[in-house]
Amino acid sequence: MRCVFLGPPGAGKGTQAAVLREKRSLAHISTGDILRDNVKKGTDLGKQAKEFMDSGGLVPDEVIVSMMKGRLQEPDCSSGFILDGFPRTAPQAEALGALLKEMQIPLDAVILFDVSDDVVIQRLTGRRICRSCGAIYHAVNRPPKVDGVCDACGGALYQRDDDSEDVVKKRLEVYKEQTRPLVDYYEKRGILVRVDAGKSGEEVISSIESAAGSEHDLA
């Protein structure tokens, strides 16, 4: 299974990627992880990226794509991978397509996690995190036994600043502006599959596996 996951914050991309990683022995690849790993190891690409990051600039697409190529050649990608957080733009999608064509590993599907704004807002504004151990709760879906207190360690629970309703709405606006051209790009290629991310986790996983059941070529 070789897929790209697209979707707004709170759509469940990370959760479903973690399930599939264990179930299918897939590599879950995020741009942020690749950047941090290269910077930490002091690779040539990491040094280039750090210069842009330290100055507050965006890391150029060619640097990201070169890092992605190195990551896709690692052994854990041999049985498949999920790309999460890349590509973010149509030019990045074109660069990724050229890279995968060169490596002869076509994508099976681009999965768009389709979920309403109301569901995203409910999921993110209800999220609570333990300051001590990092355990995650939800005010409605997974509340702690004692309000404001972590079941696991007794630490205090808090809401992230970017999980406030106003910030979540702004994040959704930015996501839609950035992603619309990318959705159009993959729809024209015939490999975009919309999955109802408002359903149960089991149903979402089943839909993803069905969508990635046949291979498509990005060429």
> Which active-site residues does the annotation give?
13, 88, 127, 160, 171
- Count CB atoms within 10 A of the CB of residue 5: 25
H or E element: which one contains 81? strand 81-84
Amino acid at the residue 114: D
Cis-peptide into 91, omega within 30 deg: no
Buried b (16+ CB within 10 A) or exposed e, 119-146: ebbbbbbbbbbbeeeebebeeeeeebee
Instruction: Give residue 138's Cα distance to chain centre.
Output: 20
Kind and range of the H or E element at 130?
strand 127-130
